[in-house]
Amino acid sequence: MKMDPHDRIDLTGPWAGFGFQAGHMFTPEGHQLEPSDMAWWSLTCNIAREWRLMMAEARADLAARSAPASTGSAKAKSGVIYLAEVLRIRRERRLGVGDPGSGAETSNVVYMSRGPRPRQRV
């Protein structure tokens, strides 16, 4: 079988919608991928894998928190995750940020300053 690289070649099966034409790959959305773009697939796949793991963990946390309270609530049924809220909670846990109320401890942040300036010749 002889294939002309300028002819359109549509992929099938799980790759349906992807294809090749004129030395470029195209996606089901119609985006054209240059050969150099293929170098980023590993990074893209790793980012997608981390995203799936993070969302699965957040859904499990949401289910664990909302199950004892009320199983009939819309929040427990929907499984919607507010990413900004999840990331804020994780950041607070990691940094040990607590309620900034009256009982909060003082910050141990050290603010750096430049110090005295050296004398300038005039």
Backbone angles phi, psi at 102, to 5 degrees: -65, -25
Sign of CA dihedral 29, 33, 37, 38: positive
Q: Would you kindly state where each structural domain of the chain is located, as residue ranges?
A: 9-33, 41-95
Q: How far is CA 28 from CA 2, 7, 13, 48, in A?
A: 25, 17, 13, 18
Instruction: List pLDDT tens digits, range 6-65.
Output: 788 899 999 999 998 888 889 999 899 888 888 888 898 999 999 899 888 888 877 777
User: Any long-range contacts for 90-96 (C-beta under 8 Å, 24+ apart)?
Assistant: none
Instruction: List pLDDT tens digits, range 71-112.
Output: 444 444 566 777 788 788 888 888 876 555 555 566 666 666
- Report whether 19 contacts 26 (CB < 8 A): yes
